[in-house]
């Protein structure tokens, strides 16, 4: 059973020392890398594409990023079985398994190096003598566990449920309509 935590910024700010402490800013800075962001977007594109194979140049054009950047992201996704590649003139990429079976956690596990929210999460990096008995460490771990659990609850299929809307916004199918 997952607890829903309501976050009230005003109350939290009233508990913090002085204005401009930066705590709230740092609290919201836990973010995924650009690589993870575009890995998810690439998977969403493949899920929304009615064709059997999607082409990396089309995906790069849709998102306004370089093909080279997407090819860099593609390698770990292929290795993890999230994307399947087909070589050749008419080749491309497709989801490695159904979109309903690919969670955000699956993607983030492949594309992120670390989720160390503080130095005490990293092996041998903590200088704090309380590292093994600190309540703060426990709170960070609980927050991280909740974050990762939430990622388990969302699939690529969920994210591309508005398939026709997503396809239209990404220009998917324009090549098909133009060729007809």
- Tell me the domain boundaries of the chain: 33-179
CA distance 139 to 144: 9
Mean pLDDT of 129-137: 69
First to last CA, the chain: 51
CA distance 140 to 95: 34
Q: At residue 23, does pLDDT exceed 50?
A: no
Q: At residue 49, does pLDDT exceed 90?
A: no
33-179: CATH architecture: Orthogonal Bundle (1.10)
pTM: 0.71
Mean pLDDT of 49-64: 92
Q: 180 or 168: whose pLDDT is higher? A: 168
Task: Give the tens place of pLDDT for each residue, 61-101.
Answer: 999 999 999 999 999 999 999 999 999 888 999 999 999 99
Which of the four pLDDT bands, split at 50, 70 and 90, describes residue 116?
A: low
Specify the pLDDT at position 104: 94
Specify the pLDDT at position 53: 94
With a CB cutoff of 8 Å and minimum separation 6, the contacts of 79 are 110
Q: Of 52, 155, 25, whose CA–CA distance to 99 is shortest?
A: 155
Please say whether the beta carbons of 98 and 155 come within 8 A.
Answer: no
Which of the four pLDDT bands, split at 50, 70 and 90, describes residue 18?
A: very low
């Amino acid at each position: 059973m997952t607890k829903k935590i309501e976050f009230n910024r005003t109350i939290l700010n009233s508990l913090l020392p002085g204005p401009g402490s930066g705590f709230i800013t740092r609290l919201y800075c836990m973010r995924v890398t650009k690589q993870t962001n575009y890995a998810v977007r690439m998977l969403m594109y493949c899920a929304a594409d009615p064709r059997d194979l999607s082409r990396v140049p089309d995906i790069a054009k849709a998102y306004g990023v370089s093909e080279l950047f997407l090819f860099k992201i593609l390698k770990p996704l292929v290795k993890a079985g999230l994307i399947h590649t087909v070589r050749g003139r008419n080749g491309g990429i497709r989801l490695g398994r159904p979109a309903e079976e690919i969670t955000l956690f699956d993607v983030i596990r492949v594309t992120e190096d670390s989720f160390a929210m503080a130095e005490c999460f990293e092996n041998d990096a903590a200088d704090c003598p309380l590292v093994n008995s600190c309540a703060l460490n426990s709170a960070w771990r609980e927050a991280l566990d909740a974050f990762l659990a939430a990622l388990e609850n969302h699939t690529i299929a969920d994210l591309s449920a508005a398939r026709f809307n997503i396809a239209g916004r990404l220009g998917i199918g324009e090549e098909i309509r133009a060729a007809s």
